[in-house]
Amino acid sequence: MIEQKTSVKAELLSSMFEFQGKIFDNAFENLTEELALKCPSEHSNHSNWLLGHILHSRYMLANMLGDGTINPFGEIYWKSIENGDYPTINEISKSFAKAGRELKEKLLGTSDAELEAKPAPDKPALIDIVSFFLYHEAYHLGQLGYARKIIGLEAMKSH
């Protein structure tokens, strides 16, 4: 029986999500519930929403990869809402760790052929979708860094 080697592309994508996950985890340093709900400006999202939105996106991607895991927070982090009943930052952190493990498992179980496949000629390949989610996550991590600085905290460390 021939042992199938894990996709190098999937390993690379997984390691990139893992790296960004460390930055995400560092966002909780010195962040209180009160500060997490403080908007940096009138027309911006607070840290709780940014953290939850990144988590929401990871659940979306895991489901696109066939995980089937239900996001415990539903759609609250899809679009920003004013004065919402948001989960605690501890709940977000715990759920993110779980979502990260599930996403890694699904990615590492994906072959090069699956990553490169297009569902239709006019649709992007799975690797392009995963790459977009990496970009999207990095974008919001950058916003989170600025939000933290504006509310008086340091930006996140990358280690």
20 is a domain residue = yes
Domain count, the chain: 1
Q: What integer pLDDT is reported at residue 5 of this predicted model?
A: 65
Could you identify the residue written with the tokens 């004013």?
A: 82
Q: Evaluate if residue 81 carries a pLDDT over 90.
A: no
In a domain, 64, yes or no: yes
Would you say residue 2 lies in a domain?
Answer: no
Domain with 91 in it: 15-150
pLDDT in tens, 31-60: 999 999 999 988 889 999 999 999 999 999
Distance CA 102, CA 54 (A): 15
The pLDDT of residue 121 is above 80: yes
Lowest mean pLDDT among 73-77, 80-84, 94-98: 80-84
Confidence of residue 119 (pLDDT cuts 50, 70, 90): confident
Judge whether 47 and 151 are in contact, CB under 8 Å. Answer: yes
Domain assignment of residue 128, yes or no: yes
Which is more confidently placed, 8 or 157? 8
Q: In the prediction, which pLDDT does 130 show?
A: 97
Mapping DSSP to helix (H, G, I), strand (E, B) and coil, where does residue 68 land? Answer: coil
Domain CATH for 62:
1.20.120.450
Residue 70 lies in a domain: yes
Q: Report the chain's mean pLDDT, rounded to a whole number.
A: 91
30 within domain boundaries: yes
Q: How confident is the model at residue 4 (pLDDT cuts 50, 70, 90)?
A: low
With CA atoms as reference, report the closest residue to 73 among 93, 90, 95, 58. Answer: 95
Question: What is the biggest distance separating any 2 CA atoms in the chain, rounded to whole angstroms?
Answer: 61
Cβ-proximal residues to 67 (8 Å cutoff; 6+ apart), any chain: 102, 103, 106
**pTM score, whole prediction:** 0.91
Q: What is the pLDDT of residue 34?
A: 96
pLDDT of residue 157: 84
Q: What is the pLDDT of residue 43?
A: 86
Q: Is residue 39 part of a domain?
A: yes
Q: Would 10 be classed as within a structural domain?
A: no
